[in-house]
Amino acid sequence: MTLTLLLAACVVVLILAVALGVGLTQWVNHLIERERQAEARRWRNEL
């Protein structure tokens, strides 16, 4: 019984870790993309 609970807890933690990793990656990519667009806008303003 406790082994099943332990296994279930491990699976839940694994799923949460993957979801967090994916969310973090998307957030970082969003920040990078925003910075790149701001940089492109600055370049266009200088021309």
Claim: this prediction has a pTM higher than 0.85: no
Give pLDDT, residue 1. Answer: 77
Structure confidence by residue, pLDDT tens digits, 1-47: 799 999 999 999 999 999 999 999 999 999 999 999 999 999 998 88
The full set of domain ranges for the chain reads 1-47
CA 47/CA 35 separation, integer angstroms: 19
Integer Cα distance of 12 and 26 in angstroms: 21
